[in-house]
Structure 1
Amino acid sequence: MKICHVNLARGFSGGERQTLQLILQQIKEGSQLVVVAKPDTPFANEIKKLNCTLVTTSHFLFNHKKSITADCDLIHVHEGQAIYWAWLQNRLYHVPYIVTRRIDNPLKNKFLSNLAYQKASCLVGLSEAIVDAIKVRHPDAMTHKIPSSPVDYPVNTEVVANIKNQFKDKVIVMQASNLLRHKGHNTSIEAFKLLQGSHPELQLVLLGDGPEKENLKQQSQGMSNITFAGKQTEMGNWFAAADIFIHPSHSEGLGSVILEAIQAGLPVIGSNAGGIPDIIENNVSGLLVEAGNGKSLAEAITLMAEDEALKTRLLAGGKEKLKLFDIVYTCSLYDAIYRSIK
């Protein structure tokens, strides 16, 4: 099959990593691919390295040549602006398109957005929460749940040793996400305020940057058990250095970084928000806490740090859960959708 993937994001976050991972697997399996992206973006630069055709456009209104999708079976949309490019291409040349939605926010009730979603042949959500949000706005749409798959990062043992030495004699509790309000960093800080006296060995390390940085630093002022490590690109080293991974978001499409933590061998704690329970089955593949509840998070962290038998059992449960998110499996689910539309 020949597929046209479209991702018009300027940055390179989880959605772009997931798009890239699917593309890499499809190339490995012999698919012919065209990828539409904005020029001079991290995503476009990654696509340039691959055995596929890159087409660039600065805006979804531009570059609608028939030749781009002339021999493509369908278009696969991966983010919000891309759906409008696909809709226009469909209107002009009748190429079908599907949409993968990665966030559990309510869909916009706007004319063009409604039209673009209605014309899609299939709407895919990464989690049950996302599929439910889609059905609220488009109850008659063909929907499927296909989760993203964890990215496997390289590890440099020397760098890992340096990180561990930086936090010598500490239990590293890591949270890795952009510093956005809905990611729950305020809950993490609240938890560590409760832990700083009783558990001085626990160190919260926050990886990421974003608009909430100054507010969070103000909230954690004077707390030596919290470290802001900034945005990191070599995530494999940090996963290898950490002891516990937390993801207490207030809302979340899926929480693919949790999958990456499990794959790296970390026990995980997350909130019962959005698609996180699709990954973390409480007391089976990790621990779930109430979103926004710092006390519950503190208790879960303490339990995970002190109960080795629990940690071992949850790690085994996490590895079993990962089978449902394997890239070969999720790629096969997309292939089945492609062929049903073709």
Structure 2
Amino acid sequence: MTEIAKKGHEVHVLAPFTGGETDYVLEGVHVERFHYFYPQRFEKLSGRSGMIDNVKEGFLVKIQVLTFLFFNVLHSLLKLRKMDVIHVQWPIPNGLGALFLKKIYGIPYINTIHGEEVHLSKRYHMLFALRWLVNNSSKTITNSTATRKFCLEAGLDGEKIEVIPFGVDTDFFRPLDVYKDGNIFQILSVGYLIERKGFEYLIKAMPHVLTEHENARLKIVGSGPLESKLKSLIYELDLGDQVEIVKNVSDEKLLMMYNSADLFVLPSIVDSQGNTEGLGVVLLEAMACGVPVIGSDVGGISDIIHDNVTGLLVSEKNSIELANAILNLVGNTNLRKKFSMDGYDKVIELFGWDKIAESYLLFYSFNPV
């Protein structure tokens, strides 16, 4: 949105309150955060680990789903009725307000579907609501070809669905000349510590990697509900000196960690609920920093990694295949350099936010109600 604002357009963002200010301007974008439950100190649905996990915390938070929908519609009608077009991120739960704006004021709206809402709609028998919100929109964006496929399988209107990936800030995430310990081969992975990220398979791959390259080290950056389980696995495999889980860090620190890494790995899987990686933005961040990458061949990851061209794709849940891919790159400096350069070029060409903003503006110009 900041790139669109830089191009001279007025951009307003309406989002739930997660702390801090409720009304401010961020890089030219007008942001307003609304309260969705009273007393406000009991608001627990938004922020932290996200709505999907927060709603599991008890009856009071489940009630807030209903109050969220009410206040989302109310604030949409009060604050957004003079907009030319509405762009909804996550049609469930955010699309209801846009639908009211269309019905009452004739304002067209566009959805972006990230993938997980399709799986959740199936699980909770809410596909009828997702179809209603999507099929009433002017157009729908999915973040990858895999997510578009999920939408078609769910019965959404395919004529309205196109793919525009999420982007990466290539001004911020960029190659830096930083110190690297020549005695260590540093492997990095980043993400929320949940099942679908597949970190257990990466940890299980490390003993195989270490048998041939004892100088390899793995750092996983993130937090989440599987933190204790993953740390127990590290202990069971006697990897305490070779594998480390680092709590969430600042963007500036993460930038340094990308640039200090010799290899980035995203071992995502299709989890027990059928969810998988919608795109894999951390791969884009790593590639923008010139780091060679390995990813599982699931979800939208293949939109980012062209196998053996911009990185390596491996089968999900296969620690041996993953270990062999890592070993291949540990021992092949030229291949790492090739993936680093080709991956960087692909991100700059296709995934910079300036490019994504141009695609959004083309979408916004298509405004039939």
What residue in structure 1 maps to residue 190 of structure 2? Answer: 176
User: Mapping of 1:186-197 within 5 angstroms?
Assistant: 186-197=200-211
Shift of 1:226: 0.5
Contact 2:175 2:289 (8 Å CA) reproduced: no
Q: Secondary structure at the match of 2:102?
A: helix
Contact 2:193 2:224 (8 Å CA) reproduced: yes
Work out the CA distance in 2 between the residues paired with 1:280 and 1:327: 18
Q: Deviations over 1:214-267 (max 9, x none)?
A: 111111112121111111123111111111100010021000110110010100
What residue in structure 2 maps to residue 106 of structure 1? Answer: 119
Q: Deviations over 1:62-86 (max 9, x none)?
A: 2346452233111101123222232
TM-score for both structures, normalised by structure 2: 0.79
- 1:217 matched to 2:217: no
Work out the CA distance in 2 between the residues paired with 1:188 and 1:228: 12
Shift of 1:53: 2.8
Shift of 1:107: 6.1
User: Mapping of 1:262-273 within 5 angstroms?
Assistant: 262-273=287-298
Q: Secondary structure at the match of 1:187?
A: helix
What residue in structure 1 maps to residue 39 of structure 2? Answer: none
Q: Runs ≥4 in structure 1, deviation > 4 angstroms?
A: 44-47, 154-158
Work out the CA distance in 2 between the residues paired with 1:46 and 1:293: 47
Shift of 1:112: 2.8
Pairs aligned (count): 314
Q: 1:334 aligns with which of 360, 364, 367?
A: 360
Q: Secondary structure at the match of 2:317?
A: coil
User: Mapping of 1:127-276 within 5 angstroms?
Assistant: 127-137=144-154, 138-152=156-170, 153=172, 161=179, 169-221=183-235, 222-223=238-239, 224-233=241-250, 234-250=253-269, 251-276=276-301
Partner AA of 2:3 in structure 1:
Q
Work out the CA distance in 2 between the residues paired with 1:123 and 1:232: 33
Shift of 1:148: 1.1
Distance 1:268 1:309, change over 3 A: same
Contact 2:6 2:28 (8 Å CA) reproduced: no
* Gaps in structure 2 of 5+ consecutive residues: 37-67, 270-275
TM-score for both structures, normalised by structure 1: 0.85
What residue in structure 2 maps to residue 78 of structure 1? Answer: 89
What residue in structure 1 maps to residue 70 of structure 2? Answer: 61
Work out the CA distance in 2 between the residues paired with 1:319 and 1:157: 13
Distance 1:151 1:39, change over 3 A: same
Partner AA of 2:107 in structure 1:
V
Work out the CA distance in 1 between the residues paired with 2:249 and 2:99: 36
Root-mean-square deviation (CA, aligned residues, Å) is 2.4
* Gaps in structure 1 of 5+ consecutive residues: 1-22
Partner AA of 1:194 in structure 2:
H
Work out the CA distance in 1 between the residues paired with 2:114 and 2:77: 28
Percent of residue pairs identical: 25
Partner AA of 2:356 in structure 1:
T
